[in-house]
Amino acid sequence: MSAHPEYKFFDAVSASFDKAARFTHWDPGILEQIKQCNSVYRMHFPVKVGDKVEVIKAYRVQHSHHKTPCKGGIRFATAVNLDEVMALAALMTYKCAIVNVPFGGAKGGINIDPKKYTIYELEKITRRYTHELIKKNFIGPGTDVPAPDYGTGEREMSWILDTYTSMKPGEVDALGCVTGKPVSQGGVRGRREATGLGVFYGIREICNTQEIMDRMGLKPGVEGKRVIVQGLGNVGYHAAKFFREGGAIVTAIAEFEGAIYNPDGLNEEEVFQHRKKEGTILNFPGATNILHSPEALELECDILIPAALENVINAENAPRVKARIVGEAANGPLTPEADDVFIKKGILVVPDMYLNAGGVTVSYFEWLKNLSHVRYGRMEKRFTENQNITILSQLESLTGKQVSNRDRRLITQGADEIDIVYSGLEETMIGATREILESWKSHPEIPDMRTAAYVVAINKVATSYAELGIFP
Ligand code: GLU
């Protein structure tokens, strides 16, 4: 634990780390080195807003340099503070390790309410922040690569890219200085939905694991499972979409202003459009209003997906949660006290640092694309198609049978960028789920899946330090 009274979130992450470290055999020095934030950069800079000068407070924390570049999003929110950015940077290290993304963890944040500024002002703030990062070598394709997070998106990433490239003319890999960019600016197809899709792949793998479903008395598979999603931002929206498309029933969606409930299922796109038009999620046709939004977390369901901010489920409300599985799409939505309550209640918590790793996984694919300067599929798509057409026509002439036009298309088509990204993400999430479950199984004394995930992460980061030769 740190002695600092304000490092609550970072301390919670450290506490989870310590809980897991007991199941490993690493030297205490290595463990301590892994836990600490390697570099912390806090900055203040002035920005002219209207006719006043505003002093903006911002951060970038590089939690671990055991692999470089460092990687992690940048959030814009009034809740941003050093403790939060440190904790989220640490989670990034463990997250990357679990899904075998070869980066150290980082996180950035600007303490603003983005809704209070014009687009022009936001651009000025983002560009100035990027300048500050450049000045201290806290950004670059080989040093530290930001990405979207709460309150930021493709637009902000293009401003960062443009600021960086204008300051570093001729740097051949400059496109890789930030990920989550629009496709026209070197982004990769599939990045936007990646976190939500990763959440779906991860939970689907859990639901397909017979042993776990038997233990929980649930039917295997995602189909027919009742899902509640808290937060209809990028992550929540896409998680809801993929669950619905996968045959689950999204019975409730919660936002700040309230929540809506319909046992027959909600369509996230219709809800999104309704909210855009009406300015509120409430009064959605056919659904029941829940005026006090947090109550939605306490409704009967199979899978609860908190996809907004940290600490939404805590000692106070955890005892009333009725879900069987809680999938942490957000970072840190459960406090350690909530974890303890759920262990006692037999609720399976699928932890954030692995479940929401889809975003950084596809960021990794984007970074690789930027460094290779070629779109996925460009070199091999046509070759694969020609080869498949030849194989199919040989089979047809040998058997005397013809496949339907629909099947012909499916069999012959070569992979596009989106196919490669989706399959890479699916493989990553399934692989990570199995690895964590294996680690859990081999240490039955590990109390929960979060601890099992930390054990996997600690072992990987510690191995990497040990093999660097830093520690004998
Ligand atoms: N902000 C996302 C996260 O917390 C994505 C980070 C990234 O793509 O680098 O995982």
Provide DSSP, 387-441: HHHHHHHHHHHHH-----HHHHHHHHPPPPHHHHHHHHHHHHHHHHHHHHHHHHH
Ligand 1 pocket, 177 CB below 6 A? no
Residue 466's pLDDT is: 84
Ligand 1 centre distance from Cα of residue 382 (Å): 33
> Could you tell me if the CB of 360 is within 6 A of ligand 1?
yes
pLDDT tens per residue across span 67-114: 999 999 999 999 999 999 999 999 999 999 999 999 999 999 999 999
In terms of phi and psi (left: phi > 0; alpha: psi -120 to 50; beta: otherwise), the region of 355 is alpha
Tell me if residue 381 is catalytic: no
**Helix axes 405-412 and 381-399, enclosed angle (nearest 10):** 130
CA 121 to ligand 1 center in whole angstroms: 24
- Spatial separation of the C-alpha atoms in residues 338 and 15, rounded to whole Å: 14
Q: Could you tell me if the CB of 362 is within 6 A of ligand 1?
A: no
Percent of the chain with pLDDT over 90: 95
Q: How does pLDDT run across 355-377, given as a tens digit for each residue?
A: 999 999 999 999 999 999 999 99
Mean per-residue pLDDT for 223-252?
A: 98
User: In order of start, what are the domains of the chain with their CATH numbers?
Assistant: 39-185 (3.40.50.10860), 194-355 (3.40.50.720), 437-443+450-472 (no CATH)
The per-residue pLDDT for 471 is 58
Mean pLDDT of 278-282: 98
Ligand 1, from 63, 92, 157: best to mutate by most atoms within 8 Å of Cβ? 92
pLDDT in tens, 406-437: 999 999 999 999 999 999 999 999 999 999 99
- Look at residue 4 in the predicted model and tell me its pLDDT: 54
Mean of pLDDT values over 256-282: 98
* pTM (2 d.p.): 0.95
pLDDT at 335: 92
pLDDT at 1: 43
Report the pLDDT value the prediction gives residue 6, as an integer from 0 to 100. Answer: 64
Question: Relative to the CA of 179, which ligand 1 atom is closest?
Answer: 8
User: What would the pLDDT profile of 334-350 be if each residue is shown by its tens digit?
Assistant: 999 999 999 999 999 99
Side-chain half-sphere exposure of 18, counting CA atoms within 13 A: 11
Q: What is the pLDDT of residue 163?
A: 98
**Atom 8 (ligand 1) nearest CA:** 360
The catalytic residue among 19, 67, 95, 107 is 107
Higher pLDDT, 329 or 50: 329
**Structure confidence by residue, pLDDT tens digits, 33-59:** 999 999 999 999 999 998 999 999 999
State the CB neighbour count (10 A cutoff) for residue 8.
15
Q: What is the pLDDT of residue 3?
A: 46
Q: What separation in Å is there between the alpha carbon of 88 and the centre of ligand 1?
A: 10
Predicted pLDDT of residue 309 = 86
> What is the chain's mean pLDDT, rounded?
96
- Ligand 1 centroid–CA 300 distance in Å is 30
